[in-house]
Structure 1
Amino acid sequence: MPPKTPAKAGGGSKPASSSTPASATSSAAAGTKQKGNDSSLPMEMCSNSSSEYGFQMFDADEIRRLGKRFRKLDLDNSGSLSVEEFMSLPELQQNPLVQRVIDIFDADGNGEVDFKEFIQGMSQFSVKGDKESKMRFAFRIYDMDNDGYISNGELFQVLKMMVGNNLKDTQLQQIVDKTVLFADKDEDGKISFEEFCTVVGNTDVHKKMVVDV
């Protein structure tokens, strides 16, 4: 079943019967681009943005470590990560939904992830993050047009990223139709965040959305 938008486009792949929102997800403030990837960049941005949600999820040492990781990924020292640079993150290399993750991280939609977006995105995977914020991130993976609902077509597209050619489109469509029918309690033909949580909320998917800093 699930979400919507990080740094440029995306695709991926996954197996048949396990193509559910829960199994899918678990396998799962725009800053101005600055030249010169100075080592002081992360802490400067931290001090300027300390009141923002993402920065509240990490202490000073964690921000420094994330800054070090960010600079290591930023091969051209541009102050922001391209899709290619972002995809070098070990945690994402084998994830068929990597492009969706990037799209969500890329809050301003400029095709790159700056340090503020990086911190805010990574905060969704913090051990301190609450269940609802993690569930909303998972939901957004499927909500590709960011309208607050998962349509039949969006669910098909995301699950197609996961299963690739392991299923015929007709078989995958049957799974999608059954999933929407099961989750869509108000019978409006789409899945709301509340309906998504009803189906996925009792799983441990949110517990798997944790990255060591």
Structure 2
Amino acid sequence: MGNGSSMLTQYDIEGVQEHCSNTFSQQEIVSLYERFCQLDRSGGGFISSDEFMNVPEFAMNPLSQRLLRMLDGLNFKEFVLFLSAFSSRASLQLKVEFIFKVYDSDGNHKVSFNDVLDILRDLTGQFIAEHQRERVLTKVLEEAGYRKDSVLVPADFMKILGSSVLKMEVEVPVD
């Protein structure tokens, strides 16, 4: 799968579909490949964090730095797999696992109170005082049956987030 949509074969498309558990149609994969090639300005077959930052919507996202840790150096299959969490066909489990990875910035498969607080800081900036963030987070955790010293795993995220992550979708334009 080199640079240029003419290099994407039916076999490649089917392989990518299988790799991402059929969360995208063949037409969507072709569109994603075209977008991948546009982002891959170096033509090396991988997208760097600098290339991702050229996407205005991504650069403006308050979580972009966290996402970059997950994205830097993706090839096309990995790019589609990353985006599959945003597909309308993605399972709730896949979406929750993706969100968990965003919160689990150190990759230890656990999310602490401070990990969530870091995300809240990223999202709210200076608009909310630190003590207010802590109070809100403590209350949300308590309502979900957790304490400030609790450590969350993916199953806890499933319990807390439930079906609210189903709205985490982007539409892939197809020609």
Q: The TM-score by the shorter chain falls in which range?
A: 0.7 to 0.9
Structure 2 partner of 1:96: 62
Whether 2:171 is the aligned partner of 1:208: answer: no
Report the 3-state secondary structure (helix = DSSP H, G, I; strand = E; otherwise coil) of the residue aligned with 2:127: coil
Whether 2:35 is the aligned partner of 1:69: answer: yes
Question: Deviation string for 1:91-131 (max 9, x for gaps)?
Answer: 43432112323333x3xxxx322211111111111121122
Distance in 2 between residues matched to 1:185 and 1:169, nearest whole Å: 20
Change (3 A) 1:177 1:121: same
Structure 1 partner of 2:126: 165
Asked if 1 retains the 8 angstrom alpha-carbon contact of 2:13 and 2:30, the reply is: no
**TM-score normalised over the length of structure 2:** 0.80
More helix by proportion, 1 or 2?
2
Change (3 A) 1:49 1:202: closer
Question: Deviation string for 1:44-68 (max 9, x for gaps)?
Answer: 743555532x162223222111111
Instruction: List alignment gaps of at least 5 residues for structure 2.
Output: none
Structure 2 partner of 1:192: 153
- Give the deviation of 1:41 after TM superposition: 4.4
Question: Deviation string for 1:61-95 (max 9, x for gaps)?
Answer: 22111111111111222211111211333543432
Distance in 2 between residues matched to 1:190 and 1:202, nearest whole Å: 21
**TM-score normalised over the length of structure 1:** 0.67
Say what the alpha-carbon RMSD is for the aligned residues: 2.7
Identity within the alignment, %:
28
Instruction: List alignment gaps of at least 5 residues for structure 1.
Output: 1-33
Distance in 1 between residues matched to 2:6 and 2:66, nearest whole Å: 30
Aligned length: 172
- Give the deviation of 1:154 after TM superposition: 0.6
Whether 2:135 is the aligned partner of 1:174: answer: yes
